[in-house]
Amino acid sequence: MTNSEIKELASKYLINNYGERQIALVRGEGVYVWDADGKRYLDFVAGISTNNLGHCHPKVVSAITEQAKKLIHVSNLYLIEPQVKLAERIAELSFADKCFFCNSGAEANEAAIKLARKYSKEKFGENKFEIITMKKSFHGRTITTITATGQEKYQKGFEPLSPGFKYVNFNDMKAIEDGVTENTCAIMVEPIQVEGGINVPSDDYLPNLRKFCDNNNILLIYDEVQTAMGRTGKLFGYETFGAEPDIITMAKALGGGVPIGCMATKAHIAESLTPGSHASTFGGNPLVCSAALASINTIVEENLPENAEKMGKYLMQKLLLLKEKFPLIKEVRGRGLIVGAELNIEGKEVVNKALEKGLILNCIGTNVIRFVPPLIINNGHIDQAIDIFGDVLSEITKN
């Protein structure tokens, strides 16, 4: 089928909650994807920070293939060997002792919210239920996680929202101190606000937040759905800033492209999720856990966090050179291979023109171009992307 034929079918049969989509991607390899008409694109979106190993990495494909021959799904009423091995690996590589597996970042955040409330109520009393999150944050699309999300645009039309959340400014300890009450059980924060515009905190923000939570019997939850698995230059975003959480959530890149989410925590906190208190039918099934184990091992073995840090600095340097040339770029910011170029104009035209030239980008908000390529990229891939991005800015400037 061609792009136009697939688009026609989509228009007829799919709910239009993603807006107009111009191309159908049908094949991928490494940092490139091909559409239904055979055109090749350099992918600097990576499934929205998901394909950290690029597309169809041989080790992930092999793990999926071999597992699919043996066992695809069984209920969590039974032990699942790949799930246990994946939990062990995450515990070896992180601060956490115990894992709960689900299917997405939103589900992982739901689990974290439930755990924080249950643990706090058991330890400190029924009134410990309030969770503080940040303005401009993003935590998912369920009713509870859009409530946790500090952006009204995601909440509009879905009221009434879940009670028990309060929003304060990101990277502002005074706002935290003023916002906490005797009912506060947890503070939930992204180490870097990605959907909020690539907002990077000061180096002392998370360490200070850690100390504050310790001093006030408050749990610290990190939403690492986009920052985990090497993207910030470390395997986990919290390592970049040197401050461990009590609970961490991850998804996206964990599975190497298949849907899996994880909520991990310390053993004494995990005890509050007793049998029957939380579950997921598909969570942690043999297929996705085998893929995730292959993915995380490959990221570690191939030193991809180190490459992300190195390539991220190179990408930032190239974008800053473009900023000197094009006043359309207001600011360049990021860490590792989470990089944003804030523009003085809306970004939709930039994204569309880049797509026409064979570069996949996306825009967050209205004017921040997000660069989140696979962690396997090299200087040549970045040069290619910068050439296209520069050509697009040049065309827009002339017009």
**DSSP notation for 341-390:** EEESS-SHHHHHHHHHTTEE-EEETTTEEEE---TT--HHHHHHHHHHHH
Average pLDDT over residues 91-114: 98
The reported pLDDT for the residue numbered 31 is 98
* Active-site annotation holder among 35, 43, 223, 246: 223
C-alpha to C-alpha distance for 244 and 94, rounded to whole angstroms: 9
The reported pLDDT for the residue numbered 317 is 98
Residues 6 or more apart whose Cβ sits within 8 Å of residue 285: 72, 73, 74, 80, 83
Quick check: is 223 catalytic? yes
* Active-site annotation holder among 128, 136, 234, 252: 252
The reported pLDDT for the residue numbered 289 is 98
Please give the domain boundaries of the chain with CATH numbers for all domains: 1-39 (no CATH), 58-301 (3.40.640.10)
Q: No. of H helices and E strands in the chain?
A: 14, 15
C-alpha to C-alpha distance for 358 and 122, rounded to whole angstroms: 55
Please list the helix, strand and coil fractions of the chain in percent, rounded to the nearest 5, in that order: 40, 20, 40
pLDDT in tens, 139-175: 999 999 999 999 999 999 999 999 999 999 999 999 9
Q: What is the mean pLDDT of the chain?
A: 97
pLDDT in tens, 273-286: 999 999 999 999 99
The reported pLDDT for the residue numbered 399 is 77
Q: pLDDT grade, residue 208 (50/70/90)?
A: very high
pLDDT at 228 over 90: yes
**DSSP notation for 7-29:** HHHHHHHS--SS------EEEEE
Name the token pair of 109: 């955040």
The reported pLDDT for the residue numbered 398 is 87
Quick check: is 353 catalytic? no
pLDDT in tens, 281-316: 999 999 999 999 999 999 999 999 999 999 999 999
pLDDT in tens, 326-385: 999 999 999 999 999 999 999 999 999 999 999 999 999 999 999 999 999 999 999 999
* Active-site annotation holder among 138, 165, 241, 371: 138
**DSSP notation for 36-79:** TTS-EEEESSHHHHT-TT-BS-HHHHHHHHHHHHH-S---TTS-
pLDDT in tens, 240-263: 999 999 999 999 999 999 999 999
Quick check: is 156 catalytic? no
Q: Which of 167, 168, 265, 164 is nearest to 220 (CA)?
A: 265
